[in-house]
Amino acid sequence: MIQWIIICYVLTYSSLMLVAGKLGDRYGRRRIFKIGLTVSCVGLAACSMAPSFELLLPARVAQGLGTALAIACGPALATSLYPESERPRIIGYYAAMFAAAGAVGPVVGGVLTDALGWQGVFWFRIPLAGLVLALSWLLPQDKPQTSEGKPFDILGALLLVIALISLAATLSLVRRGEGAAALIIALLGITAAAGFIRTEHRAPDPVLRLDAFRSPRFALLNALNIVVSSASFTPLLFTPFFLTRYAGFDAATGGLALASGAVGTTIAAAMAGWMLKTMSSQSVAALGAATAAAGLILIGQVDGASSLAEVIATLALAGIGLGFFQTAYLDGVTAGLPESDRGVAGGLAMATRTIGVVAAASMLTLLFGASESSALAAGAGPEQAFSQAYALAFAIAATAAAAGAILAWTMRRST
């Protein structure tokens, strides 16, 4: 039952990111950003006051809606504050702050849960969102995209949401071994995706301009974000169990070790913003994917005898690679779409990233469980079986990231 608390939120914001970005481009990014913050406050309040599990779920959906509206417009609003020549540097800072939030959020959430109960995780953020909302008048009043009387692409938006939700649901059902249900949902998703493509080619003002994907570099860059995001999510899937069950660290120390990955991402993202002034996004992406691959393969080699410093170093290295890659990707996808579609670019970045995370959570977990069960059936002890499955999962993730590095380098050579 608990997984639905996560699923309701993640499915909502991930499926709506592209639509939210389009709304920002069409009706004003600052306006949609403020609406998103307002909806977030309402959703957070509803979560914190939910008297039952059944009422918590729709509150999480409302929170996910607010998240999609606010975050999709974030990169466009950040870059609008500076000249276009400063775009790579500002994107680097934006990605760094996003990663820093990923490091700080779980730590603060753990403290709040221990001190105030799970409700504190939600109501604590209401004044923070309210403060940002109050300060949002400092953002420039952006001009909405000129639609010239063209209707909003409601059908395309609906089909896109159905396709994305179906994809995530299919992966989740496969992981749980519900093959028949997964097949039905997959067929629904494929039908919706085909309908979306057909609609976008005909819509006067489509949610996503598919012409951009005719560029092999643009299409491949988005595919790489799915792959590298999936690979880089592996530490968050399995390393907490390793740290607390087999390495002998307490929860606080394990949390500190995991945070080192996000710290590495924060530092590397800020550095990448400056590197992009003299290097192509494909070169920085290749560097990031290769660094992530090196970190991931090393994480898979640590064992119960490894020191805390060794664990932190490997996690930080993988995080540094992710920081380089994500910043290069965000710069590349932003440059690949017209300036009028900056909101869509931000939504596309978050959507492809989330697809990678969901794929990792589903498929790698399935492979990990199969490997561990096989080792146990062959007579291995619990710790040995876990170690074998752990090394296999990270070897697969590292291989995927390395393949991404090679493809990104090939894109650079063909530029």
The string of DSSP letters for 250-283 reads -HHHHHHHHHHHHHHHHHHHHHHHHHTTTS-HHH
Q: How far apart are CA 23 and CA 35, in angstroms?
A: 11
- What CA dihedral angle connects 213, 77, 103 and 368, to 10 degrees? -20
Query: What ranges in 117-215 are assigned the alpha helix state H?
Result: 119-123, 125-135, 154-175, 179-202
264-294 per-position pLDDT tens digit: 999 999 999 999 988 888 899 999 999 999 9
**In the block, which residue shows the tokens 């949609």?**
32
217 and 173 in contact (C-beta within 8 Å)?
Answer: no
Give the number of C-alpha atoms closer than 13 A to the C-alpha of residue 406, restricted to the C-beta side: 6
pLDDT, position 390: 92
Compute CA distances 109 → 4, 11, 113, 350, whole Å.
19, 21, 6, 22
Helix (H) or strand (E) holding 34: helix 29-49
Query: What ranges in 300-341 are assigned the alpha helix state H?
Result: 308-335
pLDDT, position 6: 80
- Whole-prediction pTM: 0.85
**In the block, which residue shows the tokens 């989740």?**
172
Two tokens, residue 166: 């179906």
Residue 191, amino acid: T
Compute CA distances 138 → 12, 34, 66, 133, 270, whole Å.
29, 12, 20, 10, 24
Q: Which residues contact 319 (CB under 8 A, 6 or more apart)?
A: 99, 260, 261, 262, 263, 264, 265, 268, 295
DSSP state of 148: T
Say if residue 378 is exposed, middle or buried (CB neighbours under 10 Å; 0-12, 13-18, 19+).
exposed
pLDDT, position 413: 58
Angle at 14 between CA 13 and CA 16, to 5 degrees: 65
Helix (H, G, I), strand (E, B) or coil at 113: helix
Q: Which residues contact 200 (CB under 8 A, 6 or more apart)?
A: 153, 156, 206, 207, 208, 209, 210
Compute CA distances 381 → 12, 367, 375, 377, whole Å.
41, 18, 8, 10
- CA 192 distance to own-chain centroid: 23
CB count within 10 Å of CB 278 equals 9
351-400 per-position pLDDT tens digit: 898 888 888 878 888 888 899 999 999 888 888 898 899 999 999 999 99
Q: How far apart are CA 198 and CA 193, in angstroms?
A: 9
Helix (H) or strand (E) holding 217: helix 216-232
Two tokens, residue 353: 């990233």
The pLDDT profile of the chain, 415 residues, written as one tens digit per residue, is: 777 788 788 889 988 999 999 999 988 999 999 999 999 999 999 999 999 999 999 999 999 999 999 999 999 899 888 898 898 999 999 999 988 887 788 778 878 887 888 898 899 999 999 999 999 988 888 776 666 668 889 999 999 999 988 988 888 788 777 888 889 999 999 999 999 999 999 888 899 888 888 888 889 989 999 999 999 999 988 888 888 777 777 767 777 888 889 899 999 999 999 999 888 888 999 999 999 999 999 999 887 777 888 989 999 999 999 999 999 999 999 988 888 888 899 889 888 988 888 888 788 888 888 999 999 998 888 888 988 999 999 999 999 999 999 999 987 755 4
Helix (H, G, I), strand (E, B) or coil at 262: helix
Q: Which residues contact 195 (CB under 8 A, 6 or more apart)?
A: 159
Q: Which residues contact 360 (CB under 8 A, 6 or more apart)?
A: 229, 230, 231, 233, 234, 237, 397
Whole-number CA gyration radius for the chain: 21
